[in-house]
């Protein structure tokens, strides 16, 4: 077997409407289907759906803080330049989201924020001219604080 690509991510959410607004109106995903109070699917246009949200209600357990097993974050490419990343930053800040970190990963420049349920989302751009295919060690190069 050979994996061809990461197809989609599915997240449990407490409030489907609140999360729909975040992923559709703030992050710009196209909503491709919704069953109110149950499920919604989103796509960037690459495939039928890349993100699905499943409603589990307001009484669901929160995501545990600190070191734990499970998803750390998922990354969304938002463009091809630092200008694109700055525009994404301005959009999420205007919507009231909090950026919790920013990192120069050598191969990418990244901003990290939390969705309404505390799932960590990375917004990133690839750094032009970095040949990570020719030198895969660049992907493990020490990162630094990104001033964007």
| Per-residue model confidence as pLDDT tens digits over 114-131 | 999 999 999 999 999 999
Q: CATH for 1-57?
A: 3.10.180.10
pLDDT over threshold 90, residue 148: no
Summary mean pLDDT of the chain: 95
Average pLDDT of the residues in 47-69:
94
> Residues spanned by CATH 3.10.180.10 within the chain?
1-57, 73-148
Instruction: Report which DSSP code applies to 3.
Output: -
pLDDT over threshold 90, residue 110: yes
The DSSP secondary structure of 130-148, one letter per residue, reads: --TTT-GGGGGSPPEE---
Q: CATH for 73-148?
A: 3.10.180.10
Cβ neighbours of residue 74 under 8 Å, at least 6 residues apart? 9, 119, 120, 121, 122
Q: Write down the pLDDT at residue 72.
A: 93
pLDDT over threshold 90, residue 69: yes
pLDDT over threshold 90, residue 147: no
């Amino acid at each position: 077997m050979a994996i061809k690509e990461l197809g989609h991510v599915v997240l449990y959410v407490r409030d489907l409407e609140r999360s729909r607004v975040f992923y559709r109106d703030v992050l710009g995903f196209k909503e491709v289907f919704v069953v109110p109070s149950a499920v919604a699917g989103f796509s960037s246009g690459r495939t039928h759906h890349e993100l699905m949200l499943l409603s589990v209600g307001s009484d669901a357990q929160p995501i545990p803080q600190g070191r734990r097993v499970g998803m750390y974050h998922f990354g969304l490419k938002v463009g091809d330049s630092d200008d694109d990343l700055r525009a994404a930053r301005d959009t999420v800040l205007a919507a009231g989201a909090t950026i919790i970190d920013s990192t120069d990963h050598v191969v990418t420049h990244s901003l990290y924020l939390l969705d309404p349920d505390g799932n960590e989302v990375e917004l990133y751009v690839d750094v032009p001219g970095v040949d990570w295919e020719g030198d895969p060690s660049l992907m493990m190069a020490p990162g630094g604080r990104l001033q964007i």
